[in-house]
Amino acid sequence: MTAKGNPPVTFAVAASETQNVNVTVLPCFGLTEGSFITARKMWGKMMQDGQFDRENFNIGPSMPSSPGETLCAAVSASAWVEPHGKCTIAFALAWSSPKIKFSKGSSYHRRYTKFYGISERAAVDLVHDALTNYKHWEEEIEKWQSPILEDIRLPEWYKFTLFNELYFLVAGGTVWIDSSSPSADVKSDQDPPIKVESKNIKVTEAEMNCRHSTGFEHTSTSGCNSSTGVGLKQNGSSTIPRKKRSCKHFSHHLKTEDQLDGNEDVGRFLYLEGVEYIMWCTYDVHFYASFALLELFPKIELNIQRDFAKAVLSEDGRKVKFLAEGNYGIRKVRGAVPHDLGTHDPWNEMNAYNIHDTSKWKDLNSKFVLQVYRDFAATGDMAFGIEVWPAVRTAMEYMEQFDRDDDGLIENDGFPDQTYDAWTVHGVSAYCGCLWLAALQAAAAMAQRLGDKFFAETCKTKFFSAKSAFEKKLWNGSYFNYDSGSSSNSKSIQADQLAGQWYTSSSGLGPIFDEFKTRSSLQKIFDFNVMKVKGGRMGAVNGMHPNGKVDESCMQSREVWTGVTYAVAANMLLAGMEEEAFTTAEGIFIAGWSEEGFGYWFQTPEGWTTNGHYRSLIYMRPLAIWSMQWVLSPPKAIIEAPKINMMDRIVISPATFSLSLPETRVRKIANKTACFGNSSLQCTC
């Protein structure tokens, strides 16, 4: 039993008995002198006989521990070994804790219970399967790793680091549950009961034949008022209802969660931003880390994106105080991508982050659109694309408010309104602006593939306008300035300035900028942010002044971010700068993993300063090294993506020029539909 009413844990230890290996057990002993069998007696028995009594197998399972008591068990395996001979003895340890309980009371069954059940017997079955199958597991791991380990083109340090950075998927506070339904016998004792009106909102049609009908028809699976009219405002007039059309072409892809095949239902997945920043699935960081999940566990990655798609269409009106500004706002704004899925009650109480109001951040919505398009393009999962498309459109439309001068380009608001949440931005930002350009391109391409042609045209129109403004305001002849303001660091060289270009190229889309601007910017980053810091042996510092001195304007500008460095290296690979890419990434290996480094093995931090002071150990973002492998071995769908720039395929009709994006919004038709089970959130399509 565990303390404070947390779910119990059952342990099982075992050894494999063979013709040459004899196994005996001691089911129960204690650490105190008052125990029936003490640890001292246990070791005495081993010293004397080398094994326990065979009769112990008939004792049966031990009683559960009582409060404050420690129970122990032991397994002994012995064998005769001839001189110069050898013998393998296999031990296994397993544990079962079938429920995960969060601090506000929500409880779920872990994913493995789908296969092993929730009884105490599960630990025994787990340890048995481990002993029975471990050789096969090792063979499968070797089969998976061998193509990379045997690739003579790849440096040894890269192979080493690529696989070892995956420790975070297990050690990063991972929670994997069986389904979206909470465990029936545990409920929150802190919040009032919540009426759940609907679990899902599904898109049922995607064909848009009417020139101005840019939104999908929607129906809700249980709680939405499906009779609500859908239409678009034109020139301030009342909405014009659209005629509902059948779309057999798309509908066969769609299933409710209850209809999913067993192979498709992979449960729901959470992992922490880091062991010091305890927030689940921090999205601005998942932007970098998600390549590992998409490469290795694509269905889990798609489900994370589904969770955020539902969140985009949700609103949580509870008041929150934001610490940096000292003002109050609501926890989750409809249309804004949440910073995270929460801490104390994930999925039901999002945005545990409360330093700034992230509904005003300029990178989250763009990152959502980019990740969704990348996952859609890489997997070819049309049902996924249709399902999340309403959230993609909503996320794009939400960003209109940040384009203050109607040039198609968003502006930052003079505070750290992005993942660099201590680094202030004024006006147009290289980082957020480039992400926005990429999001426009991705949204246009996705709209085109899903049949939302008018929205594709609208995004394309905005893209060219925004790109022109971006280059005019930030391009200085060799790289893009940090921002368009007049602060001391406005002309700084930001390592992450081409993050949007990195994503579009990784997704099979055409380049945002011409080759000269891309290569020139990356070369500048390499020459300054990488090589001017300890000769390239620490990674890429986030900010560097054009005079060759590190940007000291804030904590984050002077840090080397491990995950960002890997992302920059991946961008260099995409630009054909292979030598610079591996030199850049090797700096993280040298500083973090090598014997001459800082000793951060299996706890790679978010970042370190040029003198080696780290921040936030065991962090999510370094998984971005898998974005390098994504470039080196892209999936088939990306390799076979049309070589013609998707933006060139979208033909802009004359009507598009006369309509601005606000005039193409879909009306909200499900104002009070809960997107999450046991949730106080409200959702609109």
DSSP collapsed to 3 states, 186-230: CCCCCCCCCCCCCCCEEECCCCCCCCCCCCCCEEECCCCCCCCCC
How far is Cα 354 from Cα 332, in angstroms, rounded to an integer? 11
How far is Cα 126 from Cα 141, in angstroms, rounded to an integer? 19
pLDDT at residue 529 is higher than 70 = yes
Strand order in the sheet with 559-561: 559-561, 607-609, 614-615
pLDDT at residue 10 is higher than 70 = yes
Cβ within 8 Å of residue 546, ≥6 positions away: 491, 492, 493, 528
pLDDT at residue 581 is higher than 50 = yes
Task: Determine the pLDDT at residue 360.
Answer: 98
The torsion angle over the Cα atoms of residues 295, 297, 298 and 303, rounded to 10 degrees, is -140
Give the mean pLDDT of 313-342: 96
Band (pLDDT 50/70/90 cuts) for residue 303 is very high
CB 362 within 8 A of CB 429: yes
How far is Cα 508 from Cα 162, in angstroms, rounded to an integer? 23
> Which of the residue ranges 5-14, 128-137, 290-299 would you say has the lowest mean pLDDT?
5-14
Band (pLDDT 50/70/90 cuts) for residue 218 is very low
CB 369 within 8 A of CB 435: no
From the list 645, 598, 669, the residue with the least C-alpha distance to 232 is 669
Give the mean pLDDT of 456-471: 97
For 611-663, write each residue's pLDDT tens digit. 989 999 999 999 999 999 999 999 999 988 776 566 777 676 655 444 343 33
Q: What is the mean pLDDT of the chain?
A: 85
Domain ranges of the chain: 17-89, 268-640
For 123-168, write each residue's pLDDT tens digit. 999 999 999 999 999 999 999 999 999 999 999 999 999 999 999 9
Give the mean pLDDT of 80-92: 94
Decide: residue 66, CB within 10 A, 0-12 exposed, 13-18 middle, 19+ buried: exposed
DSSP class per residue in 274-314: BSSS--BT-HHHHHHHHHHHHHH-HHHHHHHHHHHHHHHTE
Take residue 510 and report the two structure tokens written for it.
């055409």
For 176-201, write each residue's pLDDT tens digit. 999 755 655 433 333 333 332 333 33
CB 351 within 8 A of CB 332: yes
Task: Determine the pLDDT at residue 35.
Answer: 74
Task: Determine the pLDDT at residue 92.
Answer: 97
SS3 350: coil
Q: Is the dihedral of CA 501, 507, 511, 512 positive or negative?
A: negative
Per the model's pLDDT, the better-predicted residue between 662 and 547 turns out to be 547
Give the mean pLDDT of 407-427: 97
Helices (H), 15-72: 39-49
Band (pLDDT 50/70/90 cuts) for residue 105 is confident
Cβ within 8 Å of residue 373, ≥6 positions away: 392, 442, 443, 445, 446, 507, 509
Residue 442 pairs in a beta bridge with none
Take residue 419 and report the two structure tokens written for it.
């993942």
Band (pLDDT 50/70/90 cuts) for residue 219 is very low
Band (pLDDT 50/70/90 cuts) for residue 593 is very high
CB 203 within 8 A of CB 386: yes
Beta strands in 31-81 (DSSP E): 71-79
Cβ within 8 Å of residue 310, ≥6 positions away: 201, 391, 675, 676, 683
Per the model's pLDDT, the better-predicted residue between 62 and 342 turns out to be 342
What's the topology of domain 268-640? Glycosyltransferase (1.50.10)
pLDDT at residue 589 is higher than 80 = yes
pLDDT over 90 percentage in the chain: 73
CB 224 within 8 A of CB 198: yes
Task: Determine the pLDDT at residue 61.
Answer: 67
The torsion angle over the Cα atoms of residues 637, 642, 646 and 649, rounded to 10 degrees, is -140
Angle at which helix 562-574 crosses helix 515-525, to 10 degrees, equals 140
How far is Cα 384 from Cα 233, in angstroms, rounded to an integer? 28
Give the mean pLDDT of 429-451: 97
Locus of tokens 């929205």: 455
Take residue 369 and report the two structure tokens written for it.
């659109």
CB 484 within 8 A of CB 426: yes
Task: Determine the pLDDT at residue 652.
Answer: 66
> Is the model's pTM score more than 0.75?
yes
> Which of the residue ranges 351-355, 604-608, 653-657 would you say has the lowest mean pLDDT?
653-657
